[in-house]
Structure 1
Amino acid sequence: MLNEAAVIGDVVAGLRCSFEHVICVDDGSTDKCGELARAAGARVVTHPSNLGQGAALQSGVTFALDDGRTKYIVTFDADGQHRVADADRMVEVARTSGVDIVLGSRFLESTSSGMTAARRAVLRAAVGFTRATTGLALTDAHNGLRVLSRYAAQRISLTQAGMAHASELLNQIAHHRLRHVEVPVTIDYTDYSRSRGQSNINALNILFDLGLARLSEGRTRV
């Protein structure tokens, strides 16, 4: 989370109704969101400076895995656009199906509200890029709501600190042949969440970051 003081207390409180353990990664915030998250019942991991969403996600996963009792890890955006009921349902899918990862999709059903046409176009382009580069037949490539089994979380290591981490995670699902399934979820696009989300032009930055990573991998293999 980064400067989410306006909503983080409510987000944590909502999650605590269903999940005993909530971990928030304060990624160099300059407001009081870390204090508010802790007051709402979360355990807070703090980055002294802003490292990026990918780095924050990796820190949270690593922290959760340090507890040997952890069986599943839910990744949940701090801006309030996800629904706890969807997270609950996804954990149940993970438990009953035995898959390694459950991925939320806003495109399996037309349930997400407030998405602009431009945003939809960017997300569709990301899906095409993911299918071309990983072979994964997904419908949503950049959804922050996921459930990872302990087995999957131990095999995924994110090196992309910024927004490209979402595509990197899918690359690793393909590489490790992790069993996965998509389930429909609702994304609530409010004025606040839209103001906090990535801009459409940032999709170019994601592709650039991924291109550099691929180039680096190629050099390493040579």
Structure 2
Amino acid sequence: MPTAETRARASLEADTWVVIPLYNEAQVIGDVVRDLTPAFSNVVCIDDGSHDGGASNARAAGARIVTHPINLGQGAALQTGFEYALERGAKYVVTFDADGQHRVVDAKAMLQRARDEELAIVFGSRFLDDRTKPGFLKKIVLKTAVAVTNFTTRTRLTDAHNGLRVIRADALRRIKLRQDRMAHGTEIVVQLGRTGLPYVEQPVEVIYTDYSRAKGQSLLNSVNILIDLIIR
């Protein structure tokens, strides 16, 4: 029988959905979902045309699954997740990466801050403290991407391409992502900035492992972000 604490948490988090774009992360997605579910009762993975069985692992760990028959890109997966959450009455969405680089404790703190300060958007930033160790060259490339994003979007962020965010429903309804590659990270900042709704950045730690680097957190991937920003 659920305890009073469990019932209270379920009631508090019933208005929040964690949205995870999922593409070929069978090795780690089960652990990612299992780490989330004690803190968040609603987790949905958007299986973006995976072919490695990751969706089954996520479902077994407790996530809901929405499937794209073919790979449409992370932007499209996020948009599908936003619509799914809004259709189920979400007041907040937490965007969370599938490769294990984000920390649940950071997501919880960001959500609590959004509630306490009545914020529409809380962006996670790996550059507001010194816990994250991206490496010298990667840091330069990411910082350059931030500068380009801030210039083109008229925002003042320190980490424009961090996948950990909390977004309130009124902001979510104004997002229509069309960029399917890494440029969606800038696109979402542009669209959120245009809402005029209150936002802040929150210090978070990004965990770089051999696995996450191999799956897309490499220096090459950071360069690809810059290329997408230039050509979009």
TM-score computed with the length of structure 2 as normaliser: 0.87
Which shows bigger deviation, 193-202 or 120-129?
A: 193-202
Report whether the alignment pairs 1:7 with 2:7. no
Kindly state the Cα deviation for residue 180 of structure 1 after the two structures are TM-superposed.
0.5
Distance 1:200 1:78 in 2: 17
- In structure 2, the partner of 1:36 is 57
Kindly state the Cα deviation for residue 64 of structure 1 after the two structures are TM-superposed.
0.6
- In structure 2, the partner of 1:84 is 104
Distance 2:107 2:231 in 1: 29
CA deviations on 1:138-178 (whole Å, 9 max, x unpaired) are 11010000000011111111111111111001111222212
Kindly state the Cα deviation for residue 209 of structure 1 after the two structures are TM-superposed.
4.5
Aligned residues: 208
- In structure 1, the partner of 2:122 is 102
Paired residue for 2:205, among 162, 182, 186?
186
- In structure 2, the partner of 1:116 is 135
Distance 2:57 2:68 in 1: 16
Structure 1 stretches (4+) deviating beyond 4 angstroms? Answer: none
- In structure 1, the partner of 2:168 is 149
Kindly state the Cα deviation for residue 30 of structure 1 after the two structures are TM-superposed.
0.7
Paired residue type of 2:153: T
Paired residue type of 1:122: V
> Does structure 2 retain, via aligned residues, the 8 Å contact 1:164–1:209?
no
Distance 2:153 2:43 in 1: 31
Paired residue type of 1:178: L
Q: Gaps (5+ residues) in structure 2?
A: 1-21
Distance 2:166 2:62 in 1: 21
Report whether the alignment pairs 1:46 with 2:71. no
Query: Once the two structures are aligned, what percentage of the paired residues are identical?
Result: 53
- In structure 1, the partner of 2:227 is 205
Paired residue for 1:93, among 109, 113, 129?
113
- CA gap of 1:204–1:135, structure 2 versus 1, over 3 A, is closer
Report whether the alignment pairs 1:20 with 2:41. yes
- In structure 1, the partner of 2:10 is none
RMSD between superposed Cα atoms in Å: 1.1
> Does structure 1 retain, via aligned residues, the 8 Å contact 2:145–2:226?
no
- In structure 2, the partner of 1:214 is none
- In structure 1, the partner of 2:13 is none
- Give 3-state SS (helix, strand or coil) of 2:155's partner: coil
Distance 1:134 1:163 in 2: 16
Report whether the alignment pairs 1:134 with 2:156. no
Distance 1:67 1:112 in 2: 34
> Does structure 2 retain, via aligned residues, the 8 Å contact 1:118–1:200?
no
Q: Gaps (5+ residues) in structure 1?
A: 211-222
